[in-house]
Structures are given as structure tokens and as C-alpha cells.
């Protein structure tokens, strides 16, 4: 099977590529070739199969045509301008996140006459939801995004469902929880502290907590995110009917519960490194975010995530700190 | 105030224009000029103010720029490729219903630097909803359209909300119920019989009923639809917050209740003209349609519709058969 990963240079993309190469197969079908694309050319991994890397600009329709030229059987589309940038640069966000995805769908549709109908796994986001929201969000909740990024993801979900219903593509859209613990450097995303208050103390460094401990949010580890992608790639999509987009399972935890988990896993010397520095701007942004989801449908379809924040921390230690 | 009506040649568009000219004002502001656009040039009505008519192709971005050139204060965007045609012609549906609306929003955004921010009233549809659905659909129901038309309407709602949130336009999207009783000739739309079983008997003609009397659906009269548009044009949009799209109120009625209302209004000689001719294809299509809505939010914001199907029939008689 030929696999194309768009957005392969990002954190989840790199972990996905490693997992694919380690497994050597998807759903029992051996991987024959891997094509890795991103806005900067992804690093070519050590691999026993041919790997091609490409630097691409998805806003150019010809790029999608050339990405589809080899007729990949399985496409992971993870590429996106992130939330903050899509908010700061309205045109760029729509050009990449909406038009880029539509060009990809159109390139696939235009090859459909040849009987081509690849599996397309698309990463959406819980940013499609915005207040007012219930404390636990059902699978049937309306999408009322409060960012241009969330709007673009919600639109792409609708396109994915319609192109799938019409038989042009075999799409699965997965709404990722907030990914924690993100490895790497602290960043300026409003959500950054959710990872920072775990990652920095585990590395013996101070972390800033800008919100109250009562703040509740929805998490899964990077390892769980890769698991979602692989499951979406191999699942029986006949079970989805026309509802091609799914809220992924995750773990609802308050910041206080995160800190208690950190103390259980790494002791009070770790939690002592968390410095409370309330930030009204961040608190206001985070107050509009989803807190918890039912995710009943995805769980019944076999998607799984961590059951405790302790487990999320242990996954981080195993995957990032144990080498 | 300068008003632009896109889709002015359609049934609702023509009634809207008549109502605007009769009122002479919107929300207390006198109407100065009227620009009527459609894919074929609308007939110019008798009017005491300057009326311009244009034949336009919304899929051309320059068309939207020229429609916005006079900086209309109020824009009604009713134009669309209808459901059946958008399903039969995938590219045309996306080109007009999605790209056309986006070109309009972009033309407005590109004029926003001058402080321009018009009220834009957009007609969406209950076609954004598709099974599985609860018997009575809440305002927070997810959009899971089962047609390309419904997908395009759902996407335009998301765009309208985002462009409004960003301050480029002052948008209100209204999801119209199925409009009954539609005046004019029978058409081949799957929903045509809902009007036909009232309209034809009132005109002394036979009508075909292809579904069971238990089929339940959601209705408002053409007069109510014009009322929604005028209310959306004049309402205080600060009350909408970031949720710019509203399911309009309507009346849930079964086909049996429609027929009983017809008998009360026009007697058994009218209902005797309804011929049962079950059609499995139409029955299957209609089975996936919404049956009833809460529409709590729109009602609390002052939108009103008929309270009984008898009233819907009387509106048809007054507006269509009394001259």
C-alpha cells in the first residue's frame, strides 16, 4: 500500500511516521512506499521501504494534483495553520486550512473516474466547538467555532462528509482532544500551560500556571493521537454511514487533577516547580473552551485514549524521557 | 438606506421586494434605492424609489465586487442552486452556493477598511440537518446534511458567523422551514406534494399524495418567510453574540393534519381531490427529513410563524387566490 502523509514534519506527523514504519503495515496490508509532505520538507526517516519527502504549498491546486499523482491508497491530512496564526492572518488561514483541503479533495475527486477512492484520514479539532456549551458535550452538539481555525476545521469536516457520501473519497475526520504532554520547548499558545506544568517540572524546570486549578479540559497523549490515526486508517468505514466525523475519546481533567497526578508520579519536588501567575487574558480564552465530551460513538467504534492523567504523564516519560 | 437583493427573481425574493416597497422602510430607515439581482434579470417593480435590476453570475468574483460597489447598507442573499440541481451537478452547486457566497463575503471584507459593514441576511435551510435526528430538534443540534445543497448551506452559515465575529459583516443566517403553500405550478421537487395537496384542490384540480398521512414535517408560509427576512434585517444583532444562525420557527404538521385543515377550510369536496399514489422513492427521501424543531432562540428574538395549518391555508387564499 502507498501512503501519503501531509503535515509529516509536525509533532504528531513525525510520531505517526515512526509508528507506521515500526508496524510495516496498516490493517494487515504491507506498506510499500511512504510520501511525506509538509510546508518544509520532512526529514527522511530510516526505513526499509522507499520514502519520498516534499516541501509543498497546499494553497496551490497543482500541488494536490501532484500529491495524488501516485494514487496513494491511504492519505493522512494533518497539515494546518495553527489557531493563533489563522486568527492573526485571516487570508492565510483560509488559504491553507480551507482551500488547501478543498484542493486535495478536488484532486481526489478528479481521479475518481478511474475507480480511485483512497482512505483519507483528516485531523479536525475540538476547536469546532465554542461556548455556550454543556459541561459534557454530546456527539450531536452543533459546531459553533469561536476562531477562524475552528471554522475552517468545521467546514472541512462538512466537505469530507459530502465528498465521502458522493463516493469520491473514503473519509474519516477525527476531532483531536488537546494533546498533552506535548514534548519540546514551551510555546506561546494559550493552551501551552496544560503541557508546560507537567513537562517543565519533570525536566527540573519552573512552569507558569496562568489559570485556576478548577479549570477543566479534555486531553489525550501524543501516543493516543497516533493510535486514533492508525485506527481511523484501518477501520471499517461502512460503520460510519454518512457521519464521517468523530469526536475522539479523551480524558477530562482539571488543572488541580493534573497537578495531583504529577505529584503521584514525580513527587512534591516536581509540583513545587509550578508557579501560580494568574493571567486574565488566558483565563478568559480558556473559559470558552470545551471541558469534556461523551465521545460515545468513537469509543463504540474502537477508538481508545488514556483513562487517567497519571497514565498520560507516564506515556510522556516513556516516550520522551526514557532514552 | 440602499438595499441589495440577490436572488430577487425567485418566489420569496419577489414577495420580499413587494413587502419592502410597500413598507418603504426597514427598521425605521427609509429605503432610498433598491438593487435587484438574480441569474436572470428580475422584473423591475412599480416603485417610488430608483430600482436597478441585474442579471448576474455569482460564481464570478468580479460580480460580487460590482454588487458591493454602491455599498448597500442591507443585503438579502437568497440566491441558490436548489437541492435537486446541486445534487445532480456537483460542481455547479459548489460554484454558486459555496463559492458565490464566499465571493460576496470577500467583496464585503475587502471594503471593510473603509468602515463598511453592511447587514447581510442569508437564507439557510433545514437541509443542514439529516438523520439520525430526534423527533423535535433542539437549537444546538449538529449539522449533518445528507445533500450537497445542505452541506453548502451549512458551510455558508459557518463563514457568515466567522466573518461577522471578525467584524467584516453584520450577518444573520435564517434556516427556513419548508415553505408551504408554494404558489404556481407543481414542480418535481421531492417536497412538492406538501404544497400540491393544498394548492391543487383549492384550484379545483387533482393532487397526488405519494407518502403516508403519518409523515410529519416543518412548515411556514411564504408570508412568514418574508416576515423572517424583514425581522432579520431590522433586529438588534448584538443579541445574537457569535451565534449568527437561527432555526426559524414553524409549524410541525403531519400530512393527515394538513388534509384535516384543508377540509376545515375548503370542505370535503377539496380533500376528495387528493389521490393517494404511494411512491417508495419519495417516501424514503422524506423519511430522512427533519420533523419538528424547538426554534426557542428565534422565537425569543421575535421571529414568528403560523400557529396552525388552517392559518397557512388561509394565508395562501388571501395572498394568492383573492385577486
Chain B residues closer than 8 Å to A124 by CB:
none
pLDDT band at B113 (very low <50, low <70, confident <90, very high): confident
CATH number of the domain within which B297 lies: 3.90.25.10
Cα B95 to Cα A177, B7, B160, distances in angstroms: 33, 15, 17
- Triad B155, B160, B165: Cα angle to 5°: 125
Give me chain B's average pLDDT, please.
96
Residue B110, H or E segment: helix B101-110
What is the three-class DSSP state of A254? strand
Residues of B with catalytic annotation? 149
> Where residue B168 falls among pLDDT bands split at 50, 70, 90?
very high
Residues A81 and A42 in one domain: yes
pTM of the model: 0.97
Q: Which residues of B touch A99 (CB under 8 A)?
A: none
**Searching chain A, which residue's CA lies closest to the CA of residue B99?**
A99
Which residue range forms the structural domain that includes residue A136? Answer: 2-176+221-247
C-alpha A274/C-alpha A268 separation (Å) is 10
What pLDDT score does A322 carry?
85
Looking at the structure, tell me whether residues A238 and A307 fall in a common domain: no
Look at chain A and report how many structural domains it folds into: 2
Domain contains A181 = no
Whether residues A69 and A207 share a domain: the answer is: no
Note the pLDDT tens digit of each residue in B226-269. 999 999 999 999 999 999 999 999 999 999 999 999 999 999 99
**Could you tell me the CA-to-CA distances from B322 to B49, B123, B203, B241 in Å, in that order?**
27, 28, 12, 42
Q: Test B146 with A243 for CB contact under 8 angstroms.
A: no
Task: Look up residue B181 and give its three cell numbers.
Answer: 403553500
* Nearest Cα residue in chain A from B160: A151
Nearest CA to A168 out of A83, A91, A111 is that of: A111
For residue B143, give the nearest of A142, A145, A148 by CB distance.
A142
Tell me: do A109 and A197 sit in the same domain: no
Task: Please provide residue A126's backbone torsions phi and psi, each rounded to the nearest 5 degrees.
Answer: -70, -5
| Assigned domain for A153 exists | yes
Q: Is residue A76 part of a domain?
A: yes
Distance separating alpha carbons of residues A253 and A264, to the nearest angstrom: 15
Distance CA B106, CA A315 (A): 45
What's the pLDDT at B280?
94
Per the prediction, chain A carries an average pLDDT of 96
pLDDT beneath 50, residues of chain A: none
CA B129 – CA A244 distance, rounded (Å) = 15
Q: Output the CA angle A26-A31-A33, nearest 5 degrees.
A: 140
- On whether both A275 and A201 belong to a single domain, the answer is yes
Pairing of strands A74-77, A2-6: parallel
pLDDT for A275 equals 97
Q: Is the pLDDT of residue B2 over 90?
A: yes
A225 with A212, same domain: the answer is no
CATH of the domain at A34: 3.40.50.720
Q: Are residues B173 and B197 in the same domain?
A: no
Mean pLDDT score, B54-63 = 97
The pLDDT value recorded for residue A189 is: 79
- Three-state SS at B196: helix
Q: Which residues pair with B70 in a beta bridge?
A: none
Strand A274-276 and strand A245-247: pairing? unpaired
Q: Which residue has the cell 461577522?
A: B164
> CA B230, CA B242: separation in Å to the nearest integer?
21
Taking the C-alpha atoms of residue B272 and residue B263, their distance in angstroms, rounded to an integer, is 9
Is B200 domain-assigned?
yes
One domain for residues B269 and B211:
yes
Q: How many residues does chain B have?
A: 323
Residues of A in contact with B130 (CB under 8 A): 242
| The C-alpha cell that represents B56 in the structure block | 448576474
Q: A159-206: per-residue pLDDT in tens?
A: 999 999 999 999 999 999 999 999 988 877 789 999 999 999 999 999
Beta strands, E only, A166-242: 170-176, 178-179, 207-209, 216-220
**Average pLDDT in the B139-165 region?**
97
- Is A57 exposed, middle or buried, given 0-12, 13-18 or 19+ CB atoms closer than 10 A? exposed
Asked whether the predicted pLDDT for residue B187 surpasses 80, the reply is no
Is A183 among the domain residues? no
User: Which residues of chain A does B151 touch, with a Cβ-Cβ cutoff of 8 Å?
Assistant: 158-159, 161-162
By Cβ distance, the residue of B143, B145, B165 closest to A143 is B143
Is residue A185 in a domain?
Answer: no
The ipTM value here is 0.96
Q: Are residues A169 and A242 in the same domain?
A: yes
**In this structure, are A150 and A13 located in the same domain?**
yes
Supply the pLDDT for residue B114. Answer: 84
**Are B107 and B207 found together in one domain?**
no
C-alpha cell at B268: 370535503
- Report how far residue A282's alpha carbon sits from residue A187's, in angstroms, rounded to the nearest whole number: 14
CB contact under 8 A, B144 and A161: yes
Q: How far apart are CA B120 and CA B290, in angstroms?
A: 26
Flag whether B78 is in a domain: yes
Residue B187 forms part of a structural domain? no
CA dist A55 to A9, A13, A41, A67, A69, Å?
10, 14, 4, 11, 16
What pLDDT was estimated at residue B228? 98
Q: Are residues B285 and B240 in the same domain?
A: no
Nearest C-alpha neighbor of B228 from the set B160, B298, B161? B298
Name the residue of chain B whose CA is nearest to A129's CA: B142
Measured CA to CA, the distance from residue A114 to residue A107 in angstroms comes to: 12
Span A248-284, pLDDT tens digits:
999 999 999 999 999 999 999 999 999 999 999 999 8
Residue B151 confidence (pLDDT) above 80:
yes
Amino acid at each position: 500500500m502507498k501512503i501519503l502523509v501531509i503535515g509529516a514534519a509536525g509533532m504528531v506527523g513525525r510520531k505517526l511516521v515512526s509508528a507506521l514504519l515500526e508496524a510495516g503495515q496498516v490493517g494487515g496490508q504491507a506498506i510499500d512506499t511512504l510520501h511525506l509532505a509538509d510546508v518544509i520538507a520532512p526529514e527522511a526517516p530510516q526505513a526499509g521501504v522507499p520514502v519520498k519527502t516534499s516541501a509543498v504549498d497546499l494553497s496551490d491546486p497543482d500541488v494536490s494534483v501532484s500529491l495524488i499523482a501516485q494514487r496513494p491508497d491511504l492519505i493522512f491530512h494533518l497539515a494546518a495553520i495553527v489557531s493563533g496564526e489563522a486568527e492573526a492572518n485571516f487570508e492565510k488561514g483560509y488559504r491553507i486550512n480551507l482551500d488547501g483541503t478543498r484542493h486535495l479533495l478536488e484532486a481526489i475527486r478528479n481521479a475518481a473516474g478511474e475507480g480511485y477512492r483512497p482512505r483519507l484520514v483528516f485531523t479536525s479539532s475540538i476547536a469546532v466547538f465554542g461556548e455556550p456549551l454543556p459541561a459534557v458535550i454530546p456527539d450531536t452538539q452543533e459546531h459553533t467555532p469561536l476562531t477562524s481555525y475552528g471554522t475552517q476545521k468545521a467546514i472541512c469536516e462538512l466537505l469530507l462528509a459530502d465528498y465521502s457520501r458522493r463516493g469520491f473519497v473514503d473519509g474519516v475526520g477525527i476531532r483531536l482532544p488537546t494533546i498533552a504532554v506535548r514534548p519540546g520547548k514551551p510555546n506561546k499558545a494559550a493552551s501551552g500551560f496544560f503541557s508546560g506544568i507537567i513537562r517543565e517540572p519533570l525536566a527540573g524546570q519552573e512552569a507558569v500556571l496562568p489559570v485556576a486549578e478548577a479549570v477543566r479540559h479534555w486531553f489525550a497523549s501524543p501516543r493516543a493521537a497516533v493510535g486514533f490515526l492508525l485506527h481511523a486508517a484501518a477501520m471499517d468505514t461502512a460503520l460510519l454511514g454518512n457521519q464521517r466525523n468523530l469526536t475522539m475519546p479523551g480524558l477530562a481533567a482539571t488543572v488541580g487533577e493534573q497537578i495531583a497526578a504529577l505529584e503521584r508520579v514525580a513527587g512534591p519536588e516536581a509540583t513545587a516547580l509550578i508557579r501560580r501567575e494568574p493571567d486574565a487574558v488566558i483565563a478568559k480564552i480558556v473559559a470558552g473552551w470545551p471541558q469534556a465530551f461523551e465521545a460515545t460513538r468513537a469509543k463504540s467504534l474502537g477508538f481508545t485514549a488514556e483513562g487517567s492523567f497519571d497514565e498520560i504523564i507516564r506515556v510522556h516519560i516513556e516516550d520522551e524521557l526514557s532514552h
